[in-house]
Amino acid sequence: MSCDFTPTLLHGYLDDELDAARAAEFERHLECCKECTAALGAEESLRSSLQRSGLYENAPVALRKKIRAGLDAATASSAGMRISTWRMIAVAATVLIVAGVSWFSWPRAGKDSASTAPFTVAEIIDAHVRSLQPGHLTDVTSTDQHTVKPWFNGKLAFVPPVKDFADEGFILVGGRLDVLGGQNVAALVYSRRKHIINVFVLPTKEPDTAIHLPGLRQGYQWRHWRRQGMEYCAISDVSDSDLYELAQLMYQ
């Protein structure tokens, strides 16, 4: 073989990875070596085929979505707790199925003054389910009532009473702003043995009531009452006895 250059050098030249001196040397060699000139031509041709044939495959959109969901799950949420995706889906599916079957208007069904409540059961359940989606539970995350309560200042036209009942087994997780019946309301979030309880609070001009009988739909319990110019609705998937206990604590 007449060519005394190592054949790999040609690739370094092709890839523009030779230093200036070696590249110049190789160029001088090319002028007199037909073999290397032909070989370089073949490599350039192969490269252009590879680059012009649309071989690069971009990530599918579905993969991008799956990865984002995975990242969400691996990121500590603001409330410090995670609601798994399947549970979210199960909850959403239940809402859809049951909503189609039974559509009655609450609290009109109740026999006492609850009939004037400014929101419907469907709205409360929607708000509760929405809050369980990752990152939606709380705007302010704190177990300290003296942090949660002032947080609402300036965000609502009223100040909701906020108390922690950790000693009684209801841990204050935080609070957030929500909308019920087109009205801004405060949502207080408690946890009870890993279950989430939302307590919606908004001002009312109606007189006080007792804690109303429990409502149950789609596996969610709620308790509703009015006390000292505030309307309360607590909703959760905990048992009614737990919910009633919290309602009594808040009622005092």
Partner 1 sequence: MSGYDQGKGSDVLDAQDRARFEQLVLPHLDAAFNLARWLLRRRADSEDVAQEAMLRAYRFFRGFHGGDARAWLLQIVRNTCYTWLEKNRPVELMSEFDEELHPQPSTSPEALAIAGDNRERLTRALETLPPRFREVLVLRELEGCSYKEIASITAIPIGTVMSALARARQRLHRALTQSTPQEASREL
Q: Is the peptide bond before 107 cis (omega within 30 degrees of 0)?
A: yes
Q: Which two tokens stand for residue 81?
A: 């707790």
To the nearest whole angstrom, how small is the minimum distance from the Cβ of residue 170 to partner 1? 26
46 binds partner 1 (CB under 8 A): yes
Q: Which of residues 92-121 bind partner 1 (CB under 8 A)?
A: none
Q: In whole angstroms, how far apart are CA 216 and each of 225, 235, 239, 240?
A: 15, 9, 10, 9
Strand order from edge to edge, sheet including 215-217: 140-141, 171-180, 183-192, 195-203, 230-236, 220-227, 215-217
Interface with partner 1 (CB under 8 A), residue total 43
Q: In whole angstroms, how far apart are CA 198 and each of 9, 188, 190?
A: 70, 6, 7
Q: Which of 201, 189, 197, 196 is nearest to 251 (CA)?
A: 201
Choice between 21 and 62, CB closer to partner 1:
62
56 binds partner 1 (CB under 8 A): yes
| Among positions 54, 100, 154, 207, the unique one binding partner 1 when judged by CB under 8 A | 54
154 binds partner 1 (CB under 8 A): no
To the nearest whole angstrom, how small is the minimum distance from the Cβ of residue 177 to partner 1? 19
| Among positions 15, 27, 206, 208, the unique one binding partner 1 when judged by CB under 8 A | 15
Partners of residue 223 on adjacent β-strands: 234
Residue type, 21: A
Choice between 77 and 120, CB closer to partner 1:
77
To the nearest whole angstrom, how small is the minimum distance from the Cβ of residue 122 to partner 1? 32
| Among positions 51, 116, 183, 239, the unique one binding partner 1 when judged by CB under 8 A | 51
For binding to partner 1 (CB under 8 A), which residues are involved?
A: 1, 3, 7-12, 15, 17, 35, 38-39, 41-47, 49-60, 62-64, 66-67, 70-71, 74-76, 78
